[in-house]
Amino acid sequence: MMGQDHVGRVRERALRAFAREYGGEATWAAAAPGRVNLIGEHTDYNAGWVLPIAIDRVCVAAAAPAADRSVTRVYSDDLRQRFSCDMRRDVRPGVDVPIGSWPSYVLGVLAECEIARQIGNLDIVIASSVPLGSGLSSSASVEVAVATMLEQAIGASMGVLEKAMRCQRAEHAFAGVPCGIMDMLTSAAGRADHALLIDCESCTWRPVPLPKDVAIVVFNSNVRHSLAGGEYARRRDACEAAASKLGLSSLRAARGEMLDDRLTDEELRCARHVITENQRTLAAAAAMERGDVSTLGTLFAASHASLRDDYRVSCRELDMLVESAAGEEGVIGARMTGGGFGGCVVAVVARGMEVRVMERVLSSYRSRSGREGMAFAVRAVDGAGAV
Ligand code: ADP
Ligand code: MG
């Protein structure tokens, strides 16, 4: 990733913070991108397909062997907070570091990567240009940046999938988030100018070229409704219950004609979303491959409607952003992205129209919701690497 503009600035900030905090130079530095999912929402934990891109917003982890060998120190330049812990013994989530606290994302990776033991305690700085907690996966970018820094420190690669799986284990055990593999895998394996079609059952993926002449724009609603966590768990449970009533290990193999009155209304709607969303994701990858942007736009609209009406994870603000975007010249398609109940909308826009579209959608969002949104264009970039 070295030499790329979006990395350079964050790297400089991380290195400056390192010198200020610890009074020396970092020995290693690695960058890992955030991601935005183009389509395939709530399909990852149903062993289905997703189609994300790694974006030009990154977390940089810079580190050196600890000045005081008996303790690992971590500093977040974004939160301006510190944490320390001796990593030479077994670090327990919830005992040595609070579950879900920001340092848990860093220390969890050190704990899940045995190679960290060979290096001993570290002085670490993280700095990031991924907005925190907006559904662009700042959490995975922290984890993958730290894991990639460790690879650099020992001079050997763990392999992209192995690295992503260790980061996922860290997020489960230390952050307390039962996430799928998409975020970590995209951050580790992203490819410039491509999306990744990830099969979440086999954990295999292939790059799919983004159509020429389109830009990807992210709109942040700047709301996060508190029901997100509980509702996420409830949808997961409904999907599991539906699969088990249908005699399947996951909803991946479910078909529309299997859905009948064995399922409750909620289970039926959830299963129908997963079935149709998997079909849309595969169709979107195929449409991208043949440069068929109008089909892509139709699939985005259908995905949003299914998330709103069947899966019921949208909210007023996300619907407003999507409706505002849909009426705008130059917008090919728009849908909510991420878990839902706030967070972001992703739009495919005719290249050259981005600035105008962003201004007009934000202004319409402002007058309809009374809120300030945020918008930025993103590019698809390569996955994590030493910088
Ligand atoms: P998302 O991954 O969509 O941004 P999450 O809730 O999964 O949202 O992860 C956000 C959390 O990750 C933050 O609340 C914080 O604990 C941690 N985090 C991410 N980036 C940083 C950072 N630069 N410094 C400190 N903590 C971070
Ligand atoms: Mg996250």
In a domain, 307, yes or no: yes
Atom number of ligand 1 nearest to Cα 59: 23
- Distance between Cα 137 and ligand 1 center (Å): 7
Look up residue 66 and give its DSSP letter: -
Question: What is the Cα–Cα distance from 74 to 278, expressed in whole angstroms?
Answer: 40
Binding site membership of 178 for ligand 1 (Cβ less than 6 Å): no
In a domain, 164, yes or no: yes
Show which of 209, 235, 250 is a domain's final residue.
209
User: 85 in helix, strand or coil?
Assistant: strand
In a domain, 387, yes or no: no
Same domain, 239 and 347: yes
Q: Which residues share a beta bridge with 215?
A: 349
Q: pLDDT at position 282, please?
A: 98
Question: What is the dihedral angle through the alpha carbons of 177, 180, 185, 190, rounded to the nearest 10 degrees?
Answer: -100
| Beta pairing, strands 122-128 & 214-224 | unpaired
Sign of CA dihedral 254, 256, 257, 259: positive
Query: Which amino acid is located at 374 in the chain?
Result: M
pLDDT, tens only, 286-306: 999 999 999 999 999 999 999
Show which of 209, 226, 252 is a domain's final residue.
209
pLDDT, tens only, 316-347: 999 999 999 998 999 999 999 998 999 999 99
Same domain, 224 and 292: yes
Same domain, 287 and 328: yes
Ligand 1 pocket test: which of 142, 174, 184, 223 has the largest number of ligand atoms within 8 Å of its C-beta? 142
- State the ligand closest to the CA atom of 135: 1
State pTM to two decimals. Answer: 0.95
Binding site membership of 2 for ligand 1 (Cβ less than 6 Å): no
Question: What is the Cα–Cα distance from 279 to 275, expressed in whole angstroms?
Answer: 7
Q: Which residues share a beta bridge with 31?
A: 60, 385
Q: What is the mean pLDDT of the chain?
A: 96
Atom number of ligand 1 nearest to Cα 126: 23
Binding site membership of 142 for ligand 1 (Cβ less than 6 Å): yes
Q: How many angstroms from the chain centroid is the CA of residue 117?
A: 28
Place 228 in a pLDDT band, splitting at 50, 70 and 90. Answer: low
Binding site membership of 229 for ligand 1 (Cβ less than 6 Å): no
Q: Which residues share a beta bridge with 365?
A: none
The CATH number for 198's domain is: 3.30.230.10
Ligand 1 pocket test: which of 102, 137, 183, 346 has the largest number of ligand atoms within 8 Å of its C-beta? 102
- Is 283:201 a contact under the CB 8 Å cutoff? no
In sequence order, the 6+-apart residues with CB closer than 8 A to the CB of 208 are: 51, 194, 195, 196, 197, 285, 288, 289
pLDDT, tens only, 116-145: 989 999 999 999 999 998 889 999 999 999
In a domain, 385, yes or no: no
Show which of 153, 174, 209 is a domain's final residue.
209
Question: What is the Cα–Cα distance from 345 to 307, expressed in whole angstroms?
Answer: 12
Q: Which of 27, 8, 7 lies closest to 19 in space, CA to CA?
A: 27
In a domain, 151, yes or no: yes
Binding site membership of 126 for ligand 1 (Cβ less than 6 Å): yes
- Distance between Cα 235 and ligand 1 center (Å): 23
Same domain, 238 and 105: no
Task: Give the number of domains in the chain.
Answer: 2
Binding site membership of 83 for ligand 1 (Cβ less than 6 Å): no
CA angle in degrees (0–180, nearest 5) for 288-293-297: 110
Query: Which amino acid is located at 161 in the chain?
Result: L
The CATH number for 235's domain is: 3.30.70.890
Same domain, 171 and 317: no
Same domain, 243 and 159: no
Same domain, 87 and 187: yes
In a domain, 384, yes or no: no
Q: pLDDT at position 3, please?
A: 52
Q: By alpha-carbon position, which residue is closest to atom 23 of ligand 1?
A: 128
- Distance between Cα 148 and ligand 1 center (Å): 17
Look up residue 50 and give its DSSP letter: E
Same domain, 128 and 228: no
Q: By alpha-carbon position, which residue is closest to atom 6 of ligand 1?
A: 133
- Distance between Cα 132 and ligand 2 center (Å): 8
- Distance between Cα 140 and ligand 2 center (Å): 6
Sign of CA dihedral 272, 273, 278, 281: positive
Question: What is the Cα–Cα distance from 54 to 129, expressed in whole angstroms?
Answer: 13
Same domain, 246 and 205: no
Binding site membership of 136 for ligand 1 (Cβ less than 6 Å): yes
Please report which residue ranges of the chain form alpha helices under DSSP H: 5-22, 102-112, 115-119, 138-154, 160-170, 182-189, 228-245, 265-289, 293-309, 316-326, 354-369
Same domain, 203 and 234: no
Same domain, 48 and 197: yes
Edge to edge, the sheet with strand 194-199 lists 49-50, 194-199, 204-209
Binding site membership of 203 for ligand 1 (Cβ less than 6 Å): no
Same domain, 295 and 363: yes
Query: Which amino acid is located at 153 in the chain?
Result: A
Q: Which residues share a beta bridge with 331?
A: 349
Place 225 in a pLDDT band, splitting at 50, 70 and 90. Answer: confident
Which residues span the domain enclosing 183?
Answer: 4-209
Tokens of 35: 């991601």
Tokens of 270: 């959830």
Tokens of 29: 């530095």
Is it the case that residue 109 has pLDDT exceeding 80?
yes
Q: Which of 334, 353, 320 lies closest to 221 in space, CA to CA?
A: 320
Place 277 in a pLDDT band, splitting at 50, 70 and 90. Answer: very high
In a domain, 322, yes or no: yes
In a domain, 386, yes or no: no
In sequence order, the 6+-apart residues with CB closer than 8 A to the CB of 287 are: 293, 295, 296, 299
